[in-house]
Amino acid sequence: MVFICTIHVQMASAQSEGIVPDRPGYSTGTFTVPVGQFYVESGYQFSFRNSPDLRTSNIPALTVRTGLSAKSELFLEWDGVELNHSANESDSELPLFGAKFRLKQSDFYEFTLIGGISGSKNGESFVVDPLLGLMWETELSDGIEHFGGIQIESETDGTEREWLPAFAAGLEFELSGRFNSFVEYYTIYSGTENELYHATELGLLYYPVPNIQIDFYGGIGFSNEIPHYVGTGISFLFN
């Protein structure tokens, strides 16, 4: 019930001479990986809430991306193994396979289409869940960017399918040649529950060398369906 758990860092490309990772955060970015390059992005996230009690860890949160053409890329995203510390059990889901295609690009704004499929086992059957989204970025001023996206994805419990529309928007700030920060708001509508769920997130991005990003982030969920969380990750660019 979340966006692809990634965030754009478009302003980082000039700072770090090319690396533009897609994590962390709710919305993915408009950037597509050039042909011949690979991005490997991995991290750890701890989620918690008090009522009902929940303490979980996801490791390794993993994304692998590669260029398909001048305007498109393929990606694989996996949330890793979820360790439920409250119930002393673990679980994992199948990865998401998808593609991104840049629809429009200019000096001031960009639009990118994203689509993907994931799946799950339901008894003896295999259930496919699709996802489709439109992402955008625009430069507000020197060192400040607005980003956002709309998305709809499908989930099923094997007997009933639910379509979940979602929206995310945020700002990214260039702090220095090696640091960026961001703030993001996210909401998703559940037709089954007839309710909107909300969350907000803050993060810090650090570029120690041109082909590496390290990130630290935390978020607050305003309902039991979206718990609070903190996390960290690292992204590598391979030519």
- pLDDT confidence of residue 204: 96
What's the token pair of residue 169?
A: 């928007």
Reported as half-sphere exposure (CB side, CA atoms, 13 A), residue 106 has a value of 5
- pLDDT confidence of residue 42: 94
Asked if the structure places residue 7 within a domain, the reply is no
Length of the chain: 239
The span from the CA of 52 to the CA of 49, in Å, is: 7
Asked if the structure places residue 2 within a domain, the reply is no
Looking at residues 123-133, what average pLDDT do you find? 84
What's the token pair of residue 162?
A: 């639910």
Domain count within the chain? 1
**Phi and psi dihedrals of 229, rounded to 5?**
-160, 160
CATH number at residue 213: 2.40.160.40
**What's this model's pTM, rounded to 2 decimal places?**
0.86
* CA angle (8, 16, 27) in 5-degree steps: 5
Average pLDDT, the chain: 87
Q: Grade residue 25 by pLDDT with cuts at 50, 70 and 90.
A: low
Does residue 113 register a pLDDT over 90? yes
Asked if the structure places residue 4 within a domain, the reply is no
What's the token pair of residue 213?
A: 């990003």
Asked if the structure places residue 6 within a domain, the reply is no
The range of the structural domain enclosing residue 120 comes to 12-238
- pLDDT confidence of residue 123: 64
What's the token pair of residue 111?
A: 């639009």
Per-residue pLDDT of 44-86, as tens digits, reads 999 998 877 889 999 999 999 999 999 999 999 999 999 999 8
Looking at residues 17-43, what average pLDDT do you find? 83
Per-residue pLDDT of 80-106, as tens digits, reads 999 999 888 998 888 999 999 999 888
